[in-house]
Amino acid sequence: MLCSEATLVNRSADRGHAVTLRCKRWSCHICAPLCRREVIRKGKAGNPNAFITLTCNPALYECADDAARDLKDGWVALRKRIKRRWPSQSIPFMAVFERTKRGWPHLHILVRAPWIDQKWLSAAWKEITGAFIVDIRKIDNEGRAASYVAKYIGKDPHVFTGCKRWWRSHDYDVASKEKEPFITFGSRWEEVRSPLATVKRNLQAQGFYITEDRDGFIAFERWFVHVLKEK
């Protein structure tokens, strides 16, 4: 089912919330921008201090999917080497695949780690995968971390066979987690088989005042409730 075909609604007699039921597909024109923003948010949440790019040697592979799987497995091996070099460090990370113009994969990685010498990194990567072109850059603020993720996640939401588009270690997120607001308008969220625009028109026809945020999440309440709140 496409995310434009149904709406989730939680309401009481006088107020409630509604939001489009998302399919969460990168191929969806509605969900893709939300997916990108979520990846950027999660990238920033790890407070990374370095950005690593790992490449493959296309001459060693018959197809890009094989190369991507080797990049994924190679990062596992490389991370183990880094941890052996700095045994007191856990090396939290977030990894994102990018497809180049020629169709081959690059793996971009946000990490919290001691500074890693580029020559050591290149030599280790060549020993593991046969490719030696790697890049590492220092990150000194959240904005730079977000710009790196935004730049590379926004190019191509391609998924290589046998690989995730992006993933992270369980200890990557260090940002304080805000609690979701507890909604008590109704007993549960209910699926309505109508687009959000139709739901909004019906609510307005019933005399509800509606507000909407940039992600399409709407809040609605009876006009007398809204007026009392304003006073």
DSSP readout, 148-160? HHHHHHTT-----
Which residues lie closer than 8 Å to 78 by C-beta, 6 or more apart? 54, 121, 124, 125, 128
For the chain, which domains are there?
3-25+179-230 (no CATH), 47-168 (3.30.70.1910)
Question: For residue 87, what pLDDT band results from cuts at 50, 70 and 90?
Answer: very high
Question: For residue 45, what pLDDT band results from cuts at 50, 70 and 90?
Answer: confident
Give the pLDDT score at 44: 85
Beta bridge partners, 191, equal 8
pLDDT of 130 above 90: yes
Give the pLDDT score at 113: 94
Give the pLDDT score at 95: 93
Q: How many CB atoms lie within 10 A of CB 58?
A: 16
- The pair of structure tokens assigned to 55 is 């490449």
Q: What pTM did the predictor assign? A: 0.74
Question: Distance between CA 186 and CA 171 in Å, rounded?
Answer: 35
Give the pLDDT score at 175: 64
Single out the residue of 68, 81, 61, 69 nearest to residue 123, CA to CA: 81
**Across residues 6-11, what is the average pLDDT?**
89
Q: What's the distance, CA 55 to chain centroid?
A: 21
pLDDT of 224 above 90: no
Of the candidate ranges 4-8, 45-49, 146-150, 174-178, the one whose mean pLDDT is the lowest:
174-178
Q: What does DSSP assign to residue 60?
A: G
Question: Distance between CA 61 and CA 68 in Å, rounded?
Answer: 10
* Residue 155 amino acid letter: K
- The pair of structure tokens assigned to 29 is 């024109």
Question: Distance between CA 31 and CA 6 in Å, rounded?
Answer: 14
Question: Distance between CA 136 and CA 10 in Å, rounded?
Answer: 47
Our CA angle for 20, 42, 136, nearest 5°, is 140
More confident residue, 62 or 185: 62
